[in-house]
Structure 1
Amino acid sequence: MPVIRLPTRLAAGVAGLALLAALLAGCGSSSAAGGAAGRLPVVATTSQVADFTRVLGGDRVRVAQLLKPNVDPHDYEPTPADIEAVGNAKVLVENGVGLESWLNDAVGAAGFDGIRVDASRGVTIRAGNGDEEERAGDPHIWHNPLNAKIMVADIEHGLARADPANAGYFHTNRIAYDRRLDALDGDIRRQIATIPPTDRKLVTNHDAFGYYLDRYGLTFVGSIIPSFDTAAELSGSNIRKIVAKIRQTGTKAVFSESSLPPRTARTIAAEAGVRVEAGEDSLYGDTLGPAGSAGATYLQMEEHNTRTIVAALR
C-alpha cells in the first residue's frame, strides 16, 4: 500500500479518524452508502461552491460544507470531521485553480472514491505573477457571474453522474439559476456605469477581484497584500507604495474584506486621506458571510459588493 504523507497538523487528526472509522465499521455503519432520507451525500469545499451545489441539488442532496463563512481558504487545515465527511461523500466539489492546496492530502487520507468535480473546468483563468503559490493562476473565478455559470454547469454534470435519476431535476434548477446569474451580471453592469469613468479605481486587501474588475471595466490600483494568497507577507514597503499610488491616481477609497482584519486598510486610508469601507461595509472576497448577513449567498455577496463599491466611488 502506498504511504500517504500528510501535513503535521493533519496527520494527528487522521490517526484519530482511522480509529473512528474502524469503530463505525464494527457497528455496521452505512453512512458512506447514502445520505439522510436517500439524499445524495456531497462535500463542497468553499462557501461559494457549497451555495451553488445547494441551489442545484435542492432537497435531493445533503451538502457538507468544509469551509465555514468568513474562513480564509488559502491557509485552511482540514479537521478529522472534514476528512470523515469526504470519505462518506459520493461527490466532492472544489473550486480548483489551486485554491484548496490542502485538498489532495485530505482526499487521500479519507479514501474518497466518488466523483470529484473541479468547478473551474472550462473557465478562462487569469495568470498569476510567477510566485509558487500563484502558478496555477488566479483562483477567485466566482467574481465574474459568467464564470459562475460555468462553475454551476460543472457541478450539475457531477451531480447528474452520481445520481442519474435526478439529472432532469438538477438541470431544471441550473437553467433557472442561470437566468438569475444573467440578471445579476446585467444589474452590476448598470450600477458600475453610474460611476464616473475616472473614478473606477479599486484598492483592496488582496488581489481577489481581478475577474470582477476585468468584467466590469474597473482599474486595479493595488492591494494591501500584493498576492492572490492572503497568507503572503505584508511589508512596510508595500504599505508605503500603495499609499503613494492612491495619492498619485486620485483613488477615492480603500476596501477591506470580511475575512481579513480591517486595521491595515484603515491605516492606509487614513495616511492617504481617503475613505475606507470596513466592518459591515467590507467586501466579501474569499468567502460568503454567515446566514443573515449581506453576503449569505453568492447572489447577495455580489450585490452587496457592487452596492458598496458604487456608493464609495460614485
Structure 2
Amino acid sequence: MKHRQRILWIAAAAATATVLAGCGSGSDDNAGQAAPAASGGAALAVVATTPEVADFVRNIGGSDVAVTQIIKPNVDPHDYEPTPADIKAIGEAKIVVKNGVGLEEWLDRTIESAGFKGAVVDSSQGVTLREGGHEEGEEHAEEEGEEHAGEEHDPHIWHNPQNVKIMVANIEKGLAAADPSRAATFAKNLTAYAAQIDKLDADNEAAYAGLPPAERKLVTNHDAFGYYVDRYKLEFVGSVIPSLDTSAELSAKQLSDLVAKIKATGAKAIFTESSLPPKSAEAIAQQAGVKVIGGEDALYGDSLGAPGTPEGTYLGAERHNTEVIVSALAG
C-alpha cells in the first residue's frame, strides 16, 4: 500500500512539475539551470540524490558542474517523497548521481515521470556490500523465511572512507563520460580529493588506536554505522531502531533486550543522530543508566550538517562523528 501511494504521489507531482516548467518556476536549489563554468561554456547540470553524493560531485566537478541536491540536510533519505521541483530538475539534468544499494527507492519512478534520458551514475558500483544489518538478519530469516534472508544490503556505504574512494571514482568516470572536454580537470580533482579521504581514514584509525578495544562499544539511533564499525573495529551493541532504515520500531521485548545488553556489555552511551528524534534513545538510556549523546554532538548517520558549516561536508561530518564517539567512549 505504501509503495502504491508513493507511485500515485509521484505521478501527481509529475503533472504539477509540467505546469511549473511551463511557468518557468523553480527555486535556486532545484532550478536545474547550468551556470557558466570557470573553464568556459555552460556547467554540466547534475542532479545528486543525497547530501553525501552531492558533496562528492561538487568536489570532483568543481566549478564545471551545477549540482542540484535533492535531499536536504537532516531529511531522512529512507522515506523521501519527491517534489515537483525535484522532477523538474531531473528532467533538465544531463546526469543523475545516486548512492545506490536501494537507498533511493523513489528514484526510478521519479526518473520515469521526469522523462529523463541522460545517464544515471550508481556510485556504489564496485563497493563490497554488507548483507542486512547487525540485528535484523536473523529476524528477517525468522519472519520472512530463509529464502529471503540476506537479500537486503546495507546502503550506508559512505561510512567507510575506502568505499568513498570507489564512489568518487565512479562519479569521476560518469562526469568525464558526460563532458569529455573537462575529463582532465575531473581526474585532477579526483586525485586531490582521494588524498583528503585517505587522510580522514588515517586520522580515524589514529583516534581509535588510543581507545582500548574493550571501550569501543557503540549504541546508535538506527543501524547506520555498520561499515564504520567494521572499518575501525568497534563492537556494535544495538540500535534504538532495529533496522537499516528508520521505519521499524522496537517491540517491548527488543527494548528490554537492548537495555539488558547495554548493561551487560558496559556500553557508556547511546548516540543519537541528527536526522532522527532523540526521545526513544533518551528513554532507553534512562532505563539502562547511561548517557545520551545528542544535540550539537548528534552523529551524522544518514545526513550531513548545514551548508557552510564544517559538518556540511562529508569530510567534516565524518571527523565530527569520530571525535564525538572517541571522546564519549573514552570519558
TM-score, scaled relative to structure 1: 0.92
Q: Give the conservation status (yes or no) of the 8 Å contact 1:41–1:89.
A: yes
Q: Classify the secondary structure of the residue corresponding to 2:127.
A: coil
Q: Classify the secondary structure of the residue corresponding to 1:42.
A: strand
Gaps of 5+ in 1: 25-30
Q: How does 1:1-314 map to 2 (within 5 A)?
A: 7-21=7-21, 35-37=34-36, 38-128=42-132, 129=137, 130=140, 135-314=151-330
Q: Give the conservation status (yes or no) of the 8 Å contact 1:13–1:80.
A: yes
Q: 1:133 to 1:92 in 2, by over 3 A?
A: farther
Please tell me the residue identity of whatever aligns with 1:36: A
Provide the C-alpha distance between the structure 2 equivalents of 1:15 and 1:115, rounded to a whole number of angstroms: 23
Gaps of 5+ in 2: 25-30, 37-41
Q: Classify the secondary structure of the residue corresponding to 2:282.
A: helix
Deviation at 1:191, TM superposition (A): 0.3
RMSD: 2.0
Please tell me the residue identity of whatever aligns with 1:10: I
Provide the C-alpha distance between the structure 2 equivalents of 1:70 and 1:280, rounded to a whole number of angstroms: 13
TM-score, scaled relative to structure 2: 0.88
Task: Report Cα offsets for 1:81-115 as digits up to 9, x if no partner.
Answer: 00000000001000000000000010000011111
Provide the C-alpha distance between the structure 2 equivalents of 1:150 and 1:172, rounded to a whole number of angstroms: 16
Task: Report Cα offsets for 1:163-191 as digits up to 9, x if no partner.
Answer: 00000000000000110000000000010
Q: Classify the secondary structure of the residue corresponding to 1:36.
A: coil
Provide the C-alpha distance between the structure 1 equivalents of 2:6 and 2:149, rounded to a whole number of angstroms: 18
Q: Give the conservation status (yes or no) of the 8 Å contact 2:220–2:240.
A: yes
Q: Give the conservation status (yes or no) of the 8 Å contact 2:77–2:103.
A: yes
Moved more, 134-143 or 218-227: 134-143
Please tell me the residue identity of whatever aligns with 2:66: R
Deviation at 1:133, TM superposition (A): 11
Partner of 1:27: none
Q: Classify the secondary structure of the residue corresponding to 2:211.
A: coil
Provide the C-alpha distance between the structure 1 equivalents of 2:327 and 2:291, rounded to a whole number of angstroms: 11
Q: 1:57 to 1:179 in 2, by over 3 A?
A: same
